[in-house]
Amino acid sequence: MATLDILSFLISEEWVSGEVMAKRLAISRAAVWKQIQTLRKRGYEISASTRKGYRLVKKPDLLDADQIFSGLKTKWLGRDMHISAKVSSTNAAALSLARDCQSGTVILAETQTQGRGRLSRPWASPPGGIWMSLILKPEMPLNHVYRINMAVAVALCKAISSLGLEAGIKWPNDLLIRELKICGILMEVGAQVDRLDYVVVGLGLNANNDPSGFPAEWRTTSLAAELGHDIDRCVLICRILEDIEAAYEKMESKEIYEEWRSRSLTLKRQVRITSPAGDQVGQAVDLAEDGALLLRVGDELKRVLAGDCIHLRPLEAEAL
């Protein structure tokens, strides 16, 4: 018997008698007590009463596989999960496993020592965030892989909205709340010629982090800072995986594209796009179905498939 069985009774935070748990699990009350002690050693605060039984008072802010699995309702995403205290990066760990694992495998870590974003820029990954990578093996043309990024971005917005917060999408792969970065997405592809072997999708979400610990120029926030209290990361991870699975299964539909476009914070903005080809400044006119940004530069309409996007403030735009 795993502590997961006991945790599934306690997760409601109501009193549950040891006798009831023992009977339903077909074990002794001594075995129940032993598993309660194991949970306490892992940081769970559990009250005990001779008349009422046991009640979960407080959960540790740790990535707990038992708690995640007890609440996870996905069919395939996250059913194989690897949780580490520390990794160089979850994407690096995922890439090392990608060819030999099943689609839907999830990598989670409390911290990353070499977290990275676009163009291999460093990404701060202190304890309290959600640093996660998904290994996906879709049967789709290589030139449709942008659909995965759309689906994941839409799903993350929905998961965040379950907390009472509204996040929008900054093209191509950031999520913002009040113009402050809350989450980044990094997608890496393994392919041969025109055949897609696997996709690793990394996401870094500032959950219970203190934004003051990040450089001011990063303009970041966190879920806890926006809400005024910490959130249960394990519960949110379940919600994220469920929403991603649902969006992924219909990612080829126009519905996902339209929702991705409707959640854009970049449309109609004056922006600066930085890429190896140089900088371009213009108005973000539209987002194409293939994920391209349609940028009006002077009298010319350009398609931009990749690059760093900076939203210009009104005074910045006027100065150009």
Report residue 165 CA to chain centroid gap: 15
146: confidence class by pLDDT, cuts 50, 70, 90? very high
Euclidean distance between CA atoms 41 and 61, whole angstroms: 14
What confidence tens digit (pLDDT) does each residue in 151-191 have? 999 999 999 999 999 999 999 999 999 999 999 999 999 99
Q: Which residue has the tokens 């393994």?
A: 190
Confidence of residue 254 (pLDDT cuts 50, 70, 90): very high
Per-chain mean pLDDT for the chain: 91
Dihedral pair phi/psi, residue 217, rounded to 5°: -70, -15
Distance CA 78, CA 75 (A): 9
**Continuous segment of H or E residues that includes residue 284:** strand 278-287
Q: Of the CATH numbers 2.40.160, 1.10.10, 3.40.50, 2.30.30, which one belongs to the domain with range 270-318?
A: 2.30.30
Q: Within the chain, which residue ranges are assigned CATH 1.10.10.10?
A: 3-58
Question: What is residue 87's predicted lDDT score, i.e. its pLDDT?
Answer: 93
User: Where do you find CATH 2.30.30 in the chain?
Assistant: 270-318
- For the chain, give the percent of residues with pLDDT over 70: 94
pLDDT in tens, 203-249: 999 999 998 888 788 899 999 999 999 999 999 999 999 999 999 99
Q: What is the pLDDT of residue 122?
A: 62
Confidence of residue 276 (pLDDT cuts 50, 70, 90): confident
pTM: 0.83
What is the reported pLDDT for 94? 97
The Cα 153–Cα 315 span in angstroms is 29
pLDDT of residue 78: 97
Place of tokens 């649902």: 246
Phi first, then psi: what are they for 26, rounded to 5°? Answer: 55, 45
Whether the ω angle into residue 172 lies within 30 degrees of 0, i.e. cis, is yes
DSSP string across 82-108: EEEEEES-HHHHHHHHGGGS-TTEEEE
Digit-coded pLDDT (tens) for 65-81: 888 998 999 999 999 99
pLDDT exceeds cutoff 80 at 317: no
> CATH 3.30.930.10 in the chain, residues?
65-262
Q: At the topology level of CATH, where does 3-58 sit?
A: Arc Repressor Mutant, subunit A (1.10.10)
Label residue 1 by pLDDT band (50, 70, 90): very low
Percent residues over pLDDT 90 in the chain: 74
The three-class DSSP label of residue 218 is helix
Distance of CA 248 to the CA centre of its chain: 14
Q: What is the mean pLDDT of residues 262-283?
A: 93
Q: For the chain, what is the radius of gyration of the CA atoms?
A: 22
Alpha helices in 207-295 (DSSP H): 223-227, 233-248, 254-262
Type and span of the H or E element at 41: helix 29-41
Domain 65-262 has what CATH class?
alpha beta
Confidence category of residue 60, pLDDT binned at 50, 70, 90:
confident
Q: Which secondary structure element, helix H or strand E, spans residue 191, and what is its range?
A: strand 180-192
